[in-house]
Amino acid sequence: MSLAVTVSILLLLAIPTRATASDAKGVFKEPTGSFVFDASLGNRAPPVTVWYDRPDKLDPNDPVVFLLHGSSRTAREAVDIGTPYAREHRFILLVPEFSEKHYPGDAYAFANMLTSGGRLLPDSVWAFATIEHVFDLARVSLGLKTQTYDILGHSAGGQLVHRLVLFAPRSRFRRAVASSPGRYALPKLSESFPYGFKGSPFDSSVLARAFSKDFVLVLGDKDTEDRAREAEAMKEGTNRFARGLRFFATATEEANALHVPLAWRLRIVQGADHSPRPAVAAGFEELLR
């Protein structure tokens, strides 16, 4: 990995949003609602609509939780699922909607890291940077002191979350939960990018840092019906449950090979298929424990 690429990746998450306090004023004016996070608010990537729910009376130490939707791009459903948890446990819920229009095909699940032809995009437009900048916008607009966020993603959202852990482990998440991803970037140096680390700008030091992060993989043991996928994904396993087990086993083997501890946890939800509510419920249990 070249010095220039290394510096770029390390600085990715330190780039402040261009939004000022005056720009951000009003985007969270109501306790629940949405706004478009675009270039006017400092977003360098394609725009996302951010749905949210916040306490009526804010405290500077209120925690922030991101909930990422699946491939159906149903952010409204994600808000409906997440809001009862936000109100019971008092946190600010942020649900960015990565639309098919602006993040077509696999762009969302692969965190907008690649063009449709497989070329690596600038890190300023990766979904990881978008999430970090939305967090900064919330902190500025709501006057928050909290320095970290939690993040939970289901299905395609889980694909994005596990890539956040692997490829941007310096992000400011406290705990990350990926629920029932459909396919993986295996935490393996010999597996080709974007299904692994080989040929990517990331080396063993990035992988070792990823293994140290507070990450939980949630799988349903009945999540065994799946559509046909590309050969690279099918090589990981014939269904989501099998691929998830393979991913976690690979992490265990690779951490051992690197002689570093693995801080990750695996949770299997008995009787759960790919329906979002049981998996997301288990994910919130892991975030809030």
What DSSP assignment string belongs to 229-285?
--HHHHTT-SSHHHHHHHHHHHHHHHHHHHT-----EEEEETT--S-HHHHHHHHHH
Quote the DSSP letter at residue 53: E
Quote the DSSP letter at residue 63: -
Which one, of 118, 79, 125, 123, lies nearest residue 102 by Cα? 125
Q: How confident is the model at residue 3 (pLDDT cuts 50, 70, 90)?
A: very low
**What CATH code is carried by the domain that includes residue 268?**
3.40.50.1820
Could you tell me the sign of the dihedral formed by the alpha carbons of 110, 114, 115, 119, in that order?
negative
Express each pLDDT in 228-251 by its tens digit. Answer: 899 999 999 999 999 999 999 999
What the block records as the tokens of 131 is 């999430």
What DSSP assignment string belongs to 101-151?
TTSTTTTTTTTT-B-TTSPBPPGGGSHHHHHHHHHHHHHHHHT-----EEE
pLDDT score of 89: 96
| Total number of domains in the chain | 1
pLDDT at 227 over 90: no
pLDDT at 16 over 80: no
pLDDT at 4 over 80: no
Q: How confident is the model at residue 14 (pLDDT cuts 50, 70, 90)?
A: very low
Range of the domain at 147: 3-288
**What are the φ/ψ torsions at residue 164 (nearest 5 degrees)?**
-60, -45
Q: How confident is the model at residue 7 (pLDDT cuts 50, 70, 90)?
A: very low
The rounded percent of the chain whose pLDDT value lies above 90 is 85
**What are the φ/ψ torsions at residue 131 (nearest 5 degrees)?**
-60, -45
pTM assigned to the model: 0.92
